[in-house]
Amino acid sequence: MSLSNVAVNLQAQDWQAVCSRQDLVAQSGVVVWFEGRQVALFYLPEQDTPVFAVDNQDPRSGANVIGRGLVGHLKGELVVAAPLYKQHFRLSDGRCLEDSQQALQVWPVRIRGEQVEIGLA
Amino acid sequence: MNAATTIAQREKLIIVGNGMVGHHCVEQLIERGALSRYELRVFGEERQRAYDRVHLSEYFSGSCAETLALGTAGLYAGHGVNLHLGEAVIQIDRERRQVLTSAGRYAYDQLILATGSYPFVPPIEGCEGASRLVYRTLDDLDAIRAAATDARRGVVVGGGLLGLEAANALKSLGLEAHVVEFAPRLMPVQLDAEGGAALRAQIEALGVGVHLSRATQSVVAGEDYRYRMNFEGGEFLETDLIVFSAGIRPQDALGRSSGLEVAARGGVVIDSACRSSDPHIYAIGECASWNGSVFGLVAPGYSMARNVAAALAGENAASFTGADMSTKLKLLGVDVGSIGDAHGATSGARSYRFIDEASSAYRRLVVDASGKRVLGAVLVGDNSYYDTLLQYVQNGIALPVDPAALILPQTAGAPTLGADALPDSATICSCHNVSKGAICTAIDNGCGELGQLKQQTKACTGCGGCAALLKQVFEHELIARGVSVDKSLCEHFAYTRQELYALVRVEGILSFEEMLARHGRGHVGCDICKPTVGSILASCWNQPIMDPSLVPLQDTNDTFMANMQKNGTYSVVPRIPAGEITPEKLIVIGQVAKKYDLYTKITGGQRIDLFGAQLHELPAIWSELIEAGFETGHAYGKSTRTVKSCVGSTWCRYGVQDSVQMALTIEDRYKGLRSPHKLKFAVSGCTRECAEAQSKDIGVIATEKGWNLYICGNGGMRPRHAELFATDLDDAGLIRLIDRVLMFYIRTADKLQRTSVWRESLEGGLDYLKQVIIDDSLGLGAELEAQMQLVVDRYECEWANALKDPQKLKRFRTFVNDQRPDPGVHFVRERGQRRPIAAAELHLIPTTEEVL
């Protein structure tokens, strides 16, 4: 279900450029300001989906720190570990592996030429 | 057997009493299939179904009747057991084999009395209502709570086990609690005089009044409180309520009225099969008297219940042969343990005693005349000795050469009784009589999980006191069965940290990608293996951690070379070697803190921590600090932190060596060293030890002739005194040994293992470590020193390195597409500095403006 959700989102009609490819850091995250929200962009150049966009706010601490988390691969899923309490969120759909009550919003995101674009929901 | 006919012919079984023991008997009957032979009816006088009386005081600290209840609500009905609550049995008609209750008559073929006991209240003039409360049932507790509503002070009469529980209950109701005991000491049954004194001191320190050798003669109206208790000899104590807990009496009224034999000191007399003088009537638990004794603990009651249930189920029932009255309790938060012959009453018995008047701890070990067996023990203040001592007593295990070690403060060298030393017959859980053998059988039958083991064997589901021992036995047995305890670092590497270290070193691996490709799984890794491998690479090769291939490996603090705090801002700690700093540098720190409005605090390691910097501010802050000559303090890394020192012989009239100079030498040498966990050092200039070196990973203390080296100490959560490793070393000799110890630790320790834990896990202990490091028994000395020298030679301040490289600074942006700071960070001012706003305060401040 989450997969089809992602697929639908990637069909977003309107895309907005948020930063350049050069701003991304491979195997790691950076944060962009996007329409009043903080969005963390994770860049994994060798993956089929090379860039992911998730909410920068950690629901547990309330701090805006997700973009500074460590990226990893757990049980077949790409995840980010929240830096303060180390809970893991799936990059694909923002679900928390340890706590079903926590989730991060995700955005459709793509790289067009040198631009990184976020899709408007 | 034909089920249809047996149901038609089922005999009638009645249990009178639905307390802990009565309930356990029902459970046992169900479990043993006895309900195919008997139609069971249970009468309980109380309104509530059976509940856990052992943990009654929790009723005042959050537990409700339902959480204290035993078994699930539907258990009885689900098995066709008729439960009559709030229906007291008034009489037993033995001739007609019927019981008479307030609601009717019920026939029985077999009857089990499990009526328990009632609190004994001595006849005292003037006692009534709130001056005559007892502590036994949930209704009693409701009455105490009601009486406590506008009370300030409460007294418990009785300083035994239950009395102290009751005092705890009064305390948790917010009353000033007092205990009045007739005997000259607390817990006279379980403790000896010294144990009682130690317990008294601890309890008084908790604010509970203790009044010994007091006999209450009358209770009259008080002046300052509701009542005045007049004691023999003219003294008095005023109080708003009185709870009596002066002992229990067997509830044997039904036995007496129906003419069953009753013991002189009360209790329905039973034989070893728990049968009363009427062969159709059993008695179990506290209402029964076996061999002249009534057993006021739950474990013997359970064992009677088990035996009777087994007999009724047609099994070969065990005989009741008395009970071990050993107890382990936490009374008012104080550990109290009493095992076997605690008073040393056995002829020829001798005792070892440990008395610590400073912290009011007391331990006594009673051994037999031959000095070969433990007879009993008394513990006050620390029950960690209990399990081992109990096993010695119950299993007749021969004493170690130095028996006193069993009760001396535990150090690394003290002998502990491992799980393998216990015979199969050893009782692990005495509540449910589960032996080590039963646990092994369960494991052999495929039970591989601790929770499952508890469910299957019931071990540790009574009082819970055997939890630690059960876990120990479980793990030991798993390992003994060759069940591999998986030591893989994570799902990407099937190696331990030590094995990965060897691979990096032997194969000269320089990057995580190389490591993952050669020895791991997948292409990404995770937040366990990436920092671990990153740390090993740094320990071995000491490349700048901000090099592109290393950046994604570091945990966030290492990545940004600062310590993330709860609101996502960072703290910055410049290195202040040996805690020595010039006024000029102090001023710079002050100026930087002022400019960026950073909260400043002195750390325990003699440095200054600057809090509240946002990500994008870090490079600017560091360029100013580096300009003034500071270097990074590595407060964010698993690495060398600080070398604390006293002023030593330069200033101090007692100092014998220049401790500051030595601290500077050490800090300069090992700064930037990455290790399995953080490393703290200290150097003291004389034996007075003002730098607290014995609580550090590496501690150095000056002597007249040179330096003494202490290793593997720790403060923090699990304090450990460092151990003296070598004495009277010269400067070069000291550094050589530290080089070797640290590199050996880096090479052999587990991930995130401090030196203290590493040292304790080393087989062969300190002697082995001395052989390797001092005597060079493995021939590693030169190699370890060379490895350390490589790391030292490659040292470079990480912040200075990062500031030179625009690519590395790219990451220090709060937003890569916007200049604004994080609008989610809010501060308030407190005591002249700013601090993060608390969540509760946030709604009061809608903007990012500071509140003054």
Query: What ipTM did this prediction achieve?
Result: 0.90
What's the mean pLDDT when you consider all of chain B? 88
Closest alpha carbon to B511 in B479, B468, B540, B469:
B540
Beta-bridged to residue B302, according to DSSP, are none
Q: Which of B173-177, B553-557, B645-649 has the lowest mean pLDDT?
A: B553-557
Q: Which CATH number fits domain B638-796: 3.40.50.10490, 3.90.110.10, 1.10.10.10, 3.30.413.10?
A: 3.30.413.10
State the nearest Cα–Cα gap between A68 and chain B, in angstroms: 6
Type of residue at B196: G
State whether B567 and A19 contact (CB < 8 Å): no
A84: closest chain B residue by CA: B566
State whether B526 and A72 contact (CB < 8 Å): yes
Of B586 and B549, more confident: B586
Rounded CA gap, B420 and B424, in Å? 9
Looking at domain A2-119, its CATH architecture is 3-layer Sandwich (2.102)
Position B382 scores a pLDDT of 86
B570: closest chain A residue by CA: A65
State whether B822 and A23 contact (CB < 8 Å): no
Indicate which of B546, B554, B817 best probes the interface with A, i.e. most A CBs within 10 Å of its own CB: B817
Position B411 scores a pLDDT of 55
- Give B308-346 pLDDT, tens digit per residue: 999 999 988 888 888 877 888 877 878 899 998 888 888
A79 neighbourhood in chain B, CB within 8 Å: 526
Strand-pair category, B599-602 with B608-613 = antiparallel
Type of residue at B392: Y
The residue extents of the domains of chain A are: 2-119
The topology (CATH level 3) of B3-118+250-312 is FAD/NAD(P)-binding domain (3.50.50)
Q: Is B158 left (phi over 0), alpha (psi -120 to 50) or beta?
A: left
Rounded CA gap, B55 and B1, in Å? 42
Rounded CA gap, B776 and B771, in Å? 6
Q: CA distances (Å), B615 to each of A68, A85, B46, B628, B638, in order? A: 10, 19, 64, 21, 21
Counting residues of chain B whose pLDDT is more than 90, the rounded percentage is: 50
Q: CA distances (Å), A23 to each of A116, A117, B686, B807, B816, in order? A: 9, 12, 55, 10, 6
Type of residue at B620: A
The answer to whether A74 faces chain B, any CB pair under 8 Å, is yes
Rounded CA gap, B285 and B298, in Å? 8
DSSP states along B15-50: EE--SHHHHHHHHHHHHTTGGGTEEEEEEESSSSPP
In this model, does residue B211 exceed pLDDT 70? yes
Q: CA distances (Å), B455 to each of B1, B447, B461, in order? A: 30, 10, 8
Cβ-nearest to B817 among A19, A27, A69: A19
- Rounded to an integer, the average pLDDT of B784-796 is 90
Residue B307: exposure state from Cβ atoms within 10 A (0-12, 13-18, ≥19)? buried
C-alpha atoms less than 13 angstroms from C-alpha of B455 in its C-beta half-sphere: 6
State the alpha helices, DSSP H only, in B542-582.
556-560
DSSP states along B270-305: E-TT-B-SSTTEEE-GGGEEETTB---SHHHHHHHH
State the nearest Cα–Cα gap between B523 and chain A, in angstroms: 8
Of B847 and B167, more confident: B167
State whether B566 and A63 contact (CB < 8 Å): yes
Looking at domain B121-246, its CATH architecture is 3-Layer(bba) Sandwich (3.50)
In this model, does residue B852 exceed pLDDT 60? no
A40: closest chain B residue by CA: B815
- Rounded to an integer, the average pLDDT of B444-463 is 80
- Give B156-206 pLDDT, tens digit per residue: 999 988 898 899 889 888 899 999 999 899 998 888 889 999 999 989 988
Position A4 scores a pLDDT of 35
State whether A73 and B531 contact (CB < 8 Å): no
The answer to whether A103 faces chain B, any CB pair under 8 Å, is no
In this model, does residue B456 exceed pLDDT 90? no
Q: Which of B180-194, B463-477, B532-546, B646-660 has the highest mean pLDDT?
A: B646-660
Rounded CA gap, B298 and B302, in Å? 6
Element spanning B439, H or E: helix B436-444
Position B3 scores a pLDDT of 44
Look up residue B441 and give its DSSP letter.
H
- Confidence at B465, pLDDT banded by 50, 70, 90: low
Rounded CA gap, B547 and B554, in Å? 11
Closest alpha carbon to B198 in B361, B8, B395, B70:
B361
Residue B513: exposure state from Cβ atoms within 10 A (0-12, 13-18, ≥19)? middle
- Rounded to an integer, the average pLDDT of A63-69 is 94
Indicate which of B556, B567, B827 best probes the interface with A, i.e. most A CBs within 10 Å of its own CB: B556
Distance of CA B309 to the CA centre of its chain: 36
Looking at domain B324-414, its CATH architecture is 2-Layer Sandwich (3.30)
- Confidence at A34, pLDDT banded by 50, 70, 90: very high
Q: Which of A9-13, A94-98, B222-226, B717-721 has the lowest mean pLDDT?
A: A9-13
Rounded CA gap, B112 and B93, in Å? 14
**Is the Cβ–Cβ distance between B335 and B380 less than 8 Å?**
yes
In this model, does residue B9 exceed pLDDT 80? no
The answer to whether A92 faces chain B, any CB pair under 8 Å, is no
Please identify which residue in the block is written with the tokens 């929770």: B451
Q: Which of B22-36, B58-72, B506-520 has the highest mean pLDDT?
A: B22-36
Rounded CA gap, B738 and B697, in Å? 10
B557: closest chain A residue by CA: A83
Q: Do the domains B3-118+250-312 and B121-246 sit in the same CATH topology, yes or no?
A: yes
Position B609 scores a pLDDT of 96
Closest alpha carbon to B740 in B753, B723, B725:
B725
In this model, does residue B700 exceed pLDDT 80? yes
Look up residue B797 and give its DSSP letter.
-
In this model, does residue B519 exceed pLDDT 90? no
Position B502 scores a pLDDT of 81
Q: Which of A51-60, A77-86, B1-10 has the lowest mean pLDDT?
A: B1-10
Position B544 scores a pLDDT of 65
Beta-bridged to residue B702, according to DSSP, are B707
- B-contacting residues in A 12-51 (Cβ below 8 Å): 18-19, 23, 25-28, 30-33, 38, 44, 46
Rounded CA gap, B508 and B745, in Å? 19
- Rounded to an integer, the average pLDDT of A99-120 is 90
State the alpha helices, DSSP H only, in B39-151.
65-68, 75-78, 138-148
Rounded CA gap, B574 and A81, in Å? 28
State the nearest Cα–Cα gap between B567 and chain A, in angstroms: 5
Closest alpha carbon to B575 in B627, B659, B622, B634:
B634
In this model, does residue B415 exceed pLDDT 50? no
Task: Give the 3-state secondary structure of B381-411.
Answer: CCHHHHHHHHHHHHHCCCCCCCHHHHCCCCC
% helix / strand / coil in chain A, to the nearest 5? Answer: 10, 45, 45
State the nearest Cα–Cα gap between B491 and chain A, in angstroms: 8
Q: CA distances (Å), B374 to each of B124, B351, B681, in order? A: 42, 10, 43
- Give B487-512 pLDDT, tens digit per residue: 678 888 888 888 888 888 778 888 88
Q: Which two tokens stand for residue B708?
A: 């003494």
Neighbour-count burial for B22-36, b at 16+ CB within 10 Å, e otherwise:
bbbbbbbbbebebbe
State the nearest Cα–Cα gap between A28 and chain B, in angstroms: 6
- Give A2-17 pLDDT, tens digit per residue: 333 343 445 567 899 9
- Rounded to an integer, the average pLDDT of B661-680 is 94
**Is the Cβ–Cβ distance between B148 and B241 less than 8 Å?**
yes
**Is the Cβ–Cβ distance between B798 and B546 less than 8 Å?**
yes
Total CB pairs under 8 A between chain A and B: 101
State the nearest Cα–Cα gap between B550 and chain A, in angstroms: 10
- Confidence at B416, pLDDT banded by 50, 70, 90: low
Which residues neighbour A13 within 8 Å (Cβ) at sequence distance 6 or greater?
Answer: A119, A120
Q: Which two tokens stand for residue B707?
A: 């330096």
Counting residues of chain B whose pLDDT is more than 70, the rounded percentage is: 94
Q: CA distances (Å), B559 to each of B664, B802, B811, in order? A: 27, 11, 9
Q: Do you know the residue count of chain B? A: 852
Strand-pair category, B11-16 with B110-113 = parallel
- Give B243-300 pLDDT, tens digit per residue: 999 888 999 999 999 999 999 989 999 999 999 999 999 999 999 999 988 988 888 9
C-alpha atoms less than 13 angstroms from C-alpha of B689 in its C-beta half-sphere: 14
**Where does B182-271 show beta strands of DSSP type E?**
209-211, 216-221, 227-231, 236-239, 241-244, 248-250, 268-270
Neighbour-count burial for A34-69, b at 16+ CB within 10 Å, e otherwise:
beeebbbbbbbeeeeebbbbbbbbbbbbebbbbbbb
Rounded CA gap, B144 and B132, in Å? 10
In this model, does residue B354 exceed pLDDT 60? yes
Q: CA distances (Å), B599 to each of B423, B617, B824, in order? A: 60, 14, 18
Dihedral pair phi/psi, residue B157, rounded to 5°: -95, 115
In this model, does residue B133 exceed pLDDT 90? yes
Dihedral pair phi/psi, residue A105, rounded to 5°: -70, 145
Rounded CA gap, A62 and A40, in Å? 15
With vertex at residue B608, the alpha carbon angle to CA B603 and CA B614, rounded to the nearest 5 degrees, is: 110
The residue extents of the domains of chain B are: 3-118+250-312, 121-246, 324-414, 418-485, 497-554, 638-796
Q: Which two tokens stand for residue B326?
A: 């050993």
Rounded CA gap, B236 and B224, in Å? 12
Cβ-nearest to B817 among A18, A86, A88: A18
Element spanning A45, H or E: none
The CB density around residue B165, as the number of other CB atoms within 10 Å, is: 20
Q: Which two tokens stand for residue B148?
A: 């406590």
The topology (CATH level 3) of B418-485 is Arc Repressor Mutant, subunit A (1.10.10)
